[in-house]
Amino acid sequence: MIEILLIVLLVMLVFGVGILVYLQVRSPRRVEDPHAGVIEQRMTELMQSQQLLVGKVDTVAKQQVDSSKALTDSLSESQQQLGRALGERLGKVEAEMAKNLAVAAKDQAASLAGLTQRLETIDKAQDNIKALSEQVVSLQHVLDDNPARGAFGEVQLADIVESMLPSFAYTMQALLENGKQVDCLIELPDPPGPISVDAKFPLKAYQEMLAAGNQAERDKAAKRLSSDTKRHIKDIADKYVAQPIDAERTTAENALMFIPSEAVYGELHAHHPGVIEESHKRKVYLVSPTTLMATLTTVRAILRDVEMRKQASVIQREVGVLLTDIRRLNNRVVNLDRHFGQAVKDIDEIRTSSRKILSRGDKIEALDLGARDDPVAPLDGAASTTNRVEASDSFEEQSTTLE
């Protein structure tokens, strides 16, 4: 931009000087001007200034060329440095992207593997659901058949009773004297006596009530459910309540009707009060799996109390025998104390006799039978006296130890 301005100024200056020279040369007549010398001198100075300006312009142009070259070289070097920096940065970015892509590929592979595993799990779950649906269908067929339904209730009843009571407290499929076979007989002591439990239940009417398409059909099925249940309660009362088991025992004056379906049990208690009233009247009480477990818990507590009473009588008998042994031991201790008292008395008398003997011995030893110049060996009697004294001392020590 500066070069262009300088060139424009230079062109304008040269053009102006040229015009002045042209006007002076082409003038038609010379006019003597007193200031002509000054003008020429100014023209000469102007020409010199022009030449000087041209030189400066050339110098500025050269400097501008040098600056442009230096700037170009600097820009080139900066571009090279920028290229190298961009190359390094691009290399780092490329490496980082490669690393991230590798990690992403690994994570994606893991996710795909997990997804595959989950799909396999879903497939297995679908197979299990299919198998379960088949089992439900087979269970439905079982529950539709009266004998199979009874067997299903008996199996569930047996599982609950076996898990809650010891083996001696119940009998499965017990036979009564009237020829009837009860599903389970809970062995309770008198009163109340063995309690009968029946495992059959009227399910068909309940299924019809659930499958009813309108209220009329539902009411009809509900009435059938009520009548079937009452009929079954009457049969249980006639067969199992207060019936002889053998020559010595009879069943209790009440029985249990086991309903292995909580839904049926809840339906009867919620919407069929007549059935509950009939069961109380006949003393045949309805139990579900939950209430049966609670009842058996009470039965187990009663059996534990009976066993504790039996054990209490045994303990009382053993305590009586133990008291007899203690009295016998006390008598022997008294006798032993009496013997020890007599032994102490005898030892005291022996010590008295010993002291008397020692006193007499000392008196005998103190007798002066005459002095002799030659020592005379002691008599055998004196030696024996010394031995008796030593023996007496030893006996006293022993007596003191005994005391």
Which amino acid type is present at position 379? L
Dihedrals phi, psi of 45, to nearest 5 degrees: -65, -35
Sign of the torsion angle spanned by Cα atoms 131, 134, 140, 146: negative
Give the model confidence (pLDDT) of 95-104 as tens digits. 888 888 888 8
Which residues have a Cβ under 8 Å from the Cβ of 183 and sit 6 or more positions away? 153, 154, 157, 172, 173, 197, 198, 199, 200, 258
CB of 165 within 8 A of CB of 172?
Answer: no
C-alpha to C-alpha distance for 210 and 202, rounded to whole angstroms: 14
**Alpha carbon distance, N-terminus to C-terminus of the chain:** 143
pTM > 0.75: yes or no? no
Give the model confidence (pLDDT) of 205-255 as tens digits. 888 888 888 888 888 888 888 888 899 999 999 888 888 888 788 888 889
Q: What is the pLDDT of residue 402?
A: 42
CB of 285 within 8 A of CB of 257?
Answer: yes
User: Mean per-residue pLDDT for 321-339?
Assistant: 87
CB of 269 within 8 A of CB of 276?
Answer: yes
* Residues facing residue 50 across a β-bridge: none
Residue showing tokens 């592979």 = 109
CB of 348 within 8 A of CB of 402?
Answer: no
User: Mean per-residue pLDDT for 159-168?
Assistant: 87
- The yes-or-no verdict on residue 20 having pLDDT over 70 is no
Residue 97: strand, helix, or coil:
helix
How many Å separate Cα 235 from the centre of its chain?
Answer: 49
Which residues have a Cβ under 8 Å from the Cβ of 164 and sit 6 or more positions away? 293, 296, 297, 299, 300
Residue 252: strand, helix, or coil:
coil
Q: What is the DSSP string of 286-300?
A: EE-HHHHHHHHHHHH
User: Mean per-residue pLDDT for 17-43?
Assistant: 61
Q: What is the pLDDT of residue 23?
A: 62
Give the model confidence (pLDDT) of 341-391 as tens digits. 888 888 888 988 888 888 888 888 887 655 444 444 444 444 444 444 454
Other beta carbons less than 10 A from residue 250's beta carbon: 16
Other beta carbons less than 10 A from residue 252's beta carbon: 21
CB of 263 within 8 A of CB of 292?
Answer: no
- Top-confidence range, 28-42, 52-66, 282-296: 282-296
